[in-house]
Amino acid sequence: MKDASSTIEALNADWKKFFEEFHFQPHPRFLNTVENLSDPDSVAEYVKGYFLITGDSNADAVAAKCETTEARCLFGRTSSMHPSQRMNARLDIFYSRLMNGCDDLAMKALGMLPDAETVWCDYETGKDEAFAKYSVMTYHRRMESHDALFWKFGFDKGGKPAFFDTPLASAMKKGKEVIFQHVNLLPLACQEQLREVTDGKTFEAKSKKIAIKLGFRVVATMNLLTNDGRTLTLSPFLADRASSIREVKIDTDTCAVLAFGHDLK
């Protein structure tokens, strides 16, 4: 009887063969994540979502292959593995194919994480008073783009300029959840920093160390299409850190309830 390690090695080899025609080499974190999923449908959702949100040119072909008998057999074997180690546990991604708003409406109004703080990743939105309740990323001439993830420029009670913790830094220190709305609007430098944060352990920015407390988690939402018709994807190195990738599908009636706060009857 084969031991667990040799069984996982054989399974990983089959995954590499599955993606061979697409010239895609799955990251060890990708393989570990799908092996930690509970059922074949969750595995299929993750695989299709990964290729879609990263803008891979083979996304449609991969989605089609996920419906084959070969894929269902592989996904079934994968979801029955339950490895002892879980590499990804600090990032969950929810994406929408719509062009405006359904991701943030769904996350907040459906009450999935009512107590989590929110970071709105569209810098220009910060100029709109309607979004004042969100922690909008701001820049100061002394800050590099990725520092804006952790330190927010402002003024203390005495009127002196100072840097304060952002919701991300606060969540890291307290072991809480933080929602990143429109995470794919973050510059690549910021996405790289977020990747390092989701890797865990202690993080250092501007010579300040932040000990990441147990329970910390990033819930990221993204619209694939912008209002002007552009497609904005997520970097693969950040997507590789996701413990789940799920599509948010909202019908017209649900959108009305989320937008207006009551049923339109």
* Residue 4 confidence (pLDDT): 61
Question: In whole angstroms, what is the distance from residue 4 CA to residue 55 CA?
Answer: 34
Which residue among 47, 79, 111 closes a domain?
79
User: 90, 38 in Cβ contact below 8 A?
Assistant: no
Spatial separation of the C-alpha atoms in residues 251 and 45, rounded to whole Å = 19
Q: Beta-strand (E) ranges in 84-216?
A: 91-96, 117-120, 135-136, 151-155, 161-165, 177-181, 202-205, 208-211
pLDDT in tens, 109-167: 456 677 777 777 765 444 434 334 444 454 444 445 557 788 777 888 888 888 788 88
Q: Residue 172 sits in a domain of what CATH number?
A: 3.40.50.300
Q: Which of 128-132, 187-191, 236-240 holds the top average pLDDT?
A: 236-240
Cα 229 from Cα 202, distance rounded (Å):
39
Closest residue by Cα to residue 170 from 185, 152, 155? 152
Please tell me which residue, 53 or 226, carries the higher pLDDT value.
53
Exposed/middle/buried for residue 51 (C-beta within 10 Å: 0-12, 13-18, 19+) = buried
Would you say residue 121 lies in a domain? yes
pTM: 0.83
Instruction: Answer yes or no: do 246 and 162 share one domain.
Output: yes
Query: Domain total for the chain?
Result: 2
